[in-house]
Structure 1
Amino acid sequence: MRIKNLKLSLILIGISGAFVACSKDDDKLEETPNYGRMSINAKASYSPEAGKNGAQRSSSDIELSRFLVNFKEIELEYDDIIDDGDNIYNGEDEIELKGPFEVDLLSPVPIPLVEFRVPNGRLEEIEFEFDKSSNPDSEIYNQSMRMDGTINGTPFVFWHDFEDEIELEFDDDNNNSVINGDLNHILINFDLNAVFDPETGVDLSLAADGNGNGIIEIGPRDEDGNNALAEAIKRAIKNQIELLEDHYD
């Protein structure tokens, strides 16, 4: 089901800044009976030491400088909604937030994506959709994901243009999934340490600079012959997305 009469517009405040959701029903952050507030945040967990696990596991020295992603939309699904008082939601059990949300997640602190008013109730899952950026001024124009860094000192770029939806379920005992007139936080974490651990993800020592231009290019269509590796990285990233449900406790 979709909420058709709740229109949210999003204002971008920098590539690694915040988004603010507004609507005719949500112009201020004031307290409202039967409503609370939800803050959705995201980050990437990464340590330069993650790819240095000994010669028996990987010969790669990996350094990352950027990890850009583009979310087309974010959706929250309720297990149960308490009466919202003004019937804005009309019994619907999903809230859809239109993006795009374009952010650099390689940050030591969570990146705020959006904060908005939500009816009291219990959340069941969060869903977000990757899609190609349609902004010609964007650094990831026509891409849904991009990563820059070095492999053993050689510059590399990984990019992809896939479109896909990711669903993450809340634990039943997660306090942040219960809206009760307060401010709740959600943190979506991309575990890049696991992605680039050869035992749990991808071994980047296999990446090659096939055309010899001094840059290792890893993408679904590249000139270095790393197409299969690009698919493996994409799958590994999708498998290492999680909700850190106790981060704000």
Structure 2
Amino acid sequence: MNTTRKIGNLLLAVSAGVLAVACTENEETPELAQSEVSIVASVGSSEADPGARTTNLVYGNFEISDIKVSLDNVKLILRGTTEDSNKPSIVQIRNNSPQLLTLIEDGVIYEPIIGTAMAYDGVYGKLDFDLVKTMEVPVDDEMYGLSVFAKASWFGIPAEVSIDLEEEVNVMFNQGVEVAGAQDLYLTLYLDKFLEGVDPNLVSDGNGDGLVEVGPDNVDGNGEAYEAITANMQDAMTLKNGEFKKDKKDKS
């Protein structure tokens, strides 16, 4: 009986010690706050007020009527600090799920939701995403094989801009975006930056078919304009917090 009693006491002591350690660890590592964050696609102008909604679709000699973008692998990156050492540094918004976004259609601006995820509260300083070719549509669809497609009027002549880039885009925001409660963050394409540096003398309806085409195939001889626009993609993207939400349209 004495031996049995000693073993029982020993087990009780061990159990109590394990419980005490577990309680201490729980007290030392409190649950970290998280908030629901939605990434919303939008268009804007770099010259407009930060909270202003875009209504102007005329930039230079282009009057834009349609823009579609295909993207994937969207990640919000936490700005690392000592206080954030226990937090995952990456919030995966979209992964291996290409999305075709309609930003403008027939002159109407839309703000489609890219994705929603729980993010640890903190300051985020970077958003990464991949431009990807659209392959999940019929081969005769205007977006097939493209990552960006735009329709516009150029000096009154119909025009199309077709981009087939597949690359990672890194959107940096030096001041950081603070997450401390549910909110929308706007991944915004600045239309003036998108078309920046496109000299009117570089654009023409080279084959005279009544359609100005700017694209990788250089059908109209607008190769320099295509290179200028594709070089703008990185700087044309920015991230805003949700200052403007009223009357937004959602189309994905």
| Fold shared by both chains (TM-score > 0.5) | yes
Residue 201 of structure 1, CA deviation:
2.4
Where does 1:1-249 land on structure 2 (aligned, <5 Å)?
A: 34-45=33-44, 47-51=56-60, 60=61, 62-80=62-80, 92-96=88-92, 97-98=94-95, 99-106=97-104, 107-108=108-109, 110-137=111-138, 139-172=142-175, 174=176, 177-180=177-180, 182-196=181-195, 200-245=196-241, 247-248=243-244
TM superposition shift of 1:142: 0.7
Q: 1:48 to 1:211 in 2, by over 3 A?
A: same
Q: Deviations over 1:95-148 (max 9, x none)?
A: 232231211222545332212222333322111111111213354111011111
Contact 1:191–1:237, Cα closer than 8 Å, also in 2: no
Q: Which runs of 5+ in 1 are unaligned?
A: 1-31, 52-59, 85-89
Deviation at 1:81, TM superposition (A): 8.9
Unpaired runs of at least 5, structure 2: 1-30, 46-55, 246-252
Q: Tell me, what secondary structure is at the counterpart of 1:133?
A: coil
User: How many percent identity over aligned positions?
Assistant: 22
Q: Which has the higher helix share?
A: 2
Instruction: Please give the secondary structure, in 2, of the residue aligned with 1:237.
Output: helix
Rg larger for: 2
Give the CA deviation at 1:159: 0.5
Amino acid at match of 2:167: D
Q: Which runs of 4+ in 1 moved over 3 A?
A: 80-84, 107-110
Contact kept? 2:40, 2:113, Cα under 8 Å: yes
> d(CA) in 2 for partners of 1:139 and 1:50?
23
Mapped partners of 1:189, 1:179: distance in 2: 18
**Which residue of structure 2 lines up, in the alignment, with residue 57 of structure 1?**
none
Q: How far did 1:80 drift?
A: 4.6
User: What TM-score comes out, normalization by structure 1 length?
Assistant: 0.68
- State the distance in 1 between where 2:143 and 2:190 align: 21
Root-mean-square deviation over aligned CA pairs:
2.9
Contact 1:105/1:111 (<8 A) preserved: yes
Match of 1:87 in 2: none
TM-score under structure 2 length normalisation: 0.68
The AA in structure 1 aligned to 2:163 is H
What is the CA–CA distance in structure 1 between the aligned matches of 2:73 and 2:113, rounded to whole Å? 15
| In 2, Cα distance between equivalents of 1:179 and 1:192 | 27
User: How many residues of Structure 1 are paired with residues of Structure 2 in the alignment?
Assistant: 197
